[in-house]
Structure 1
Amino acid sequence: MFRIIIIGLSIILTFIGILAIIYFVYLLIDELIFEKRRKKLRDKELEKLKETLSSYEFESTQQNAINKSFNFMEYLYSGDYLKVIKTFKDYYGFTHQVEEKFYFACVYFLPYEDGYTLYISDDKINVNTIYLQNRIETQKEICSHPEEYFEIIEQGRFKRYISKFKNMIFVKGGKYKASFTDVKQEVFDIEVSKYLVTQDLWQEIVGNNPSYFKGNKKPVECISWWDCLEFCNKLSEKYNLKPVYDLSQKDKEIFKIIHLDGEIVEESKSNFKNTEGFRLPTELEWEWFASGGQKAIDKKTFNCKYSGSNKIDEVAWYAKNFCCEDEETKGTHIVGIKKANQLGLYDCTGNVWEWCFDMKSPIEKESRRLRGGSWHSHDFDCTVLGRFFNEAKNINFSVGFRIVRTI
């Protein structure tokens, strides 16, 4: 009888243990599902907010400067801290400042309310104070590299640049000796498209989709260098920007550059600093932003073999990982899946070769430079310093492009 009771208790305990394990697994799965939904919702909300942001300027010369709402958005990183100085007056009218430091762990934060002054300590830009609004109860973060998003206008005044165009990223210029030159050259401040030009954007602007590997968020391909110039002009016109290229003689394979002052010049006399419309990057610009620009130099990661990493599988779709088991997964991939580089640019390595503006050489003007490698390339062709070329009129299912704009 006692043995039967023991066996019964063992069965009950075993059953309870199984139920506990099932419940634990259920909680784990539920948590994973919730986290996935939360991330999706957060990303959706961030995209909405980014589309509504505009440039802001902040006065930092007066203790009683007017507070203005501000968002740091995607430039914030977990683990950073925010030092704030709260200014208040006592009973006798004397002004006091209380310094506080907050540590944060979230990915983004909401707009501020009145009351605090943001203090960033960074010798490179000599920022003292920037007056902002602050919501105390909201988790917050501060950008690790404010020099990428602020520039000195004059002493005590600072500006954060936010593009009015979706998915364009500010890239600070500088002096740079590219791999294919012997002297340092100037790179202007530019905006660079965060992603390769996608098929849905091409369809919207041009009205067709020539791509071999179809997919709205896949890079457009099977487009010539001339097609890219035409796309850039149409996109510029959509946003009321002066187009960069005069294509009135495109049928004769002749083009010129349109400067902001209206002057139309030959390619050899072009000055892209004097343009405002969308255009193809020069090879110098491409190598600069693919290497991570000044931000990568500051972080000592400028000499990565590939764009954003020394490990190609982290950042690129190329011959060894593009997957060709069936037609559905063969070829190009949706943009922005792999890791971004130091500037937040995706797919500078692999996926599709990128058309650049430059000719192959002065005696081979009919061919234009390609950079970055593609889904069909071996790893040695996908390095930041790797160069290739193709005739400007040719198309290929491994060639696409991204756009830039002088600011």
Structure 2
Amino acid sequence: MDTKPFSFNLVTTNKRGEIISTTLGYARSFIQDLGNGVNLEMVQIPGGKYLMGSREERCDWEFPEHEVKLPNFFMSKYPVTQEQYKSITGANPSMFKGDQLPVENVSWNNAVSFCEELATKTGKSYTLPSETQWEYACRAGTGTGTAFYFGDSINSDLVNYNGNYSYGLVHKQKFRQKTLAVGSLMPNPYGLYDMHGNVYEWCLDDWHSNYNGAPDNQNPWFSRSSRWKVVRGGSWNTSPQDCRSTSRSLHMADSACGDIGFRLVLNVS
């Protein structure tokens, strides 16, 4: 891929959700032309190892913590926007309207169909991320002891979530009650935006109630005839607990909600 570098500001927070440092981050990306002036930016994610999941004190469905190794891949810089979705499907089912808002109110089936249409149009094998890819990209090199990629706590200037809920030492924050334009808030160390909050994101995987038997690589985890699929990242309407890097939830493959969207990956040989 013909990638080009880009830079971005990064922040870290303390346990009160206050920004304590700002640094400059760097990543590489390529632009996929979708036609009619609409582009899709794909960010290069470096391969590596990480510990997926939480330690025992967390929820059962985030356990057991286990090592995963992944090769390089690309992930979309933002959740798929309404403009991008319309450019491929001709439709916009979203509850909140705006070209640069994330598309939502799309089922897992809709998201997979979008990927298939995009792959046909471009000749590249775009898919939804596997759960292992999603969590790896969200953590972006941060360790298992950190709930969010910027630190141990959260505030509504960094994440679009339901600020009526407290988290740790951070009490009531803004509750916007809607999505924000993609890229409105701060990125993670890989240069990805909106990995926490704004909209939940579909993963390819079927839902499993724990990680016993889970893949230790980039592959999605499927069961026979499961209707339940994984969503990650939390949303504008969820608690900060649901926005943590390790947090997992589930929805039926044919269900669509105003706080669920998706982003894309492109695997490289």
- Give the Cα–Cα distance (whole angstroms) in 2 for the partners of residues 75 and 396 of structure 1: 33
* Partners of 1:322 and 1:192 in 2: CA distance: 29
Equivalence for 1:285: 133
Which of residues 324, 331, 347 in structure 1 aligns to 2:194? 347
Give the corresponding residue for 1:382.
243
- Alpha-carbon shift at residue 379 of structure 1 (Å): 1.0
Residue of structure 1 equivalent to 2:152: 310
Match of 1:167 among 41, 46, 71: 41
Identity %: 30
Partners of 1:231 and 1:172 in 2: CA distance? 25
Q: Distance in 2 between the 1:208 and 1:229 partners? A: 15
Q: CA deviation at 1:236?
A: 1.4
Contact 1:369 1:387 in 2 (8 A): yes
Q: CA deviation at 1:369?
A: 0.5
Structure 1 position 74, deviation (Å): 2.2
Equivalenced residues, count: 214
Shift of the 303–229 alpha-carbon distance from structure 1 to 2, 3 Å rule, reads same
Contact 2:89 2:114 in 1 (8 A): yes
Where relative contact order (Cα < 8 A, 6+ residues apart) is larger, the structure is 2
CA deviations on 1:87-122 (whole Å, 9 max, x unpaired) are: xxxxxxxxxxxxxxxxxxxxxxxxxxxxxxxxxxxx
User: Which residue identity does 1:354 align to in structure 2?
Assistant: E
Q: Name the counterpart of 1:54.
A: 2
1:234 to 114, 117, 142: 117
Shift of residue 167 of structure 1?
A: 1.4
Tell me by how many angstroms 1:350 deviates. Answer: 0.5
- Map of 1:335 onto structure 2: 182
Change in 2 beyond 3 A, CA 1:76/1:351: closer
Read off the aligned partner of 1:216 and give its amino acid letter. D
Q: 2: CA distance between counterparts of 1:334 and 1:76?
A: 17
Counterparts of 1:340 and 1:211 in 2: how far apart (Å)? 24
Partner of residue 227, structure 2: 366
User: TM-score normalised to the size of structure 1?
Assistant: 0.49
Separation of aligned partners in 2, 1:304 and 1:364:
35
**Helix, strand or coil at the partner of 1:167:** strand
C-alpha spacing 1:177/1:363, structure 2 compared with 1 (3 Å): farther
Q: Which has the larger radius of gyration?
A: 1
- CA 76–354 in structure 1, closer or farther in 2 if over 3 Å, else same: closer
Q: Which runs of 5+ in 1 are unaligned?
A: 1-52, 56-71, 78-142, 150-161, 242-276, 325-329
Cα drift, residue 304 of structure 1: 3.0
Please state how far the C-alpha of 1:181 moved relative to its aligned partner. 4.6
Partner SS for 2:206: strand
Match of 1:168, as an amino acid? Answer: M
> CA 1:202–1:403 in 2, change beyond 3 Å: closer, same or farther?
same
- 2:98 and 2:266 mapped to 1: Cα distance? 26
> What are the Cα deviations for residues 321-366 of structure 1, in whole angstroms up to 9, with x where unaligned?
5645xxxxx3111111111111111111001111011101347711
**In the superposition, relative to structure 1, how do residues 76 and 318 fare at CA in structure 2: closer, same or farther (>3 Å)?**
closer
Q: Does the 8 Å contact 1:318/1:350 carry over to 2?
A: yes
Q: How far apart, CA to CA, are the structure 1 residues paired with 2:162 and 2:228?
A: 24
Q: Could you say which residue in structure 2 is the equivalent of 1:121?
A: none
List, as ranges, runs of 4+ consecutive aligned residues in structure 1 with deviation greater than 6 Å: none
Q: Within 1, Cα distance between the matches of 2:41 and 2:107?
A: 23
**1:202–1:183: structure 2 CA closer, same or farther, 3 Å change rule?**
same
**How far apart, CA to CA, are the structure 1 residues paired with 2:71 and 2:138?**
15
Could you give the per-residue CA deviations for residues 218-250 of structure 1, whole angstroms, max 9, x where no partner exists? 110110001111101111122122xxxxxxxxx
Q: CA deviation at 1:381?
A: 1.2
CA separation of 1:396 and 1:289: change in aligned 2, threshold 3 A: same
Question: What is the letter of the counterpart of residue 318 of structure 1?
Answer: Y
Partners of 2:144 and 2:6 in 1: CA distance: 22
1:226 counterpart SS class: helix
Report which of the two has the higher share of helix. 1
1: CA distance between counterparts of 2:145 and 2:131? 17
Kept in 2, the 8 Å contact 1:209–1:220? The answer is yes
1:186 to 69, 77, 81: 69
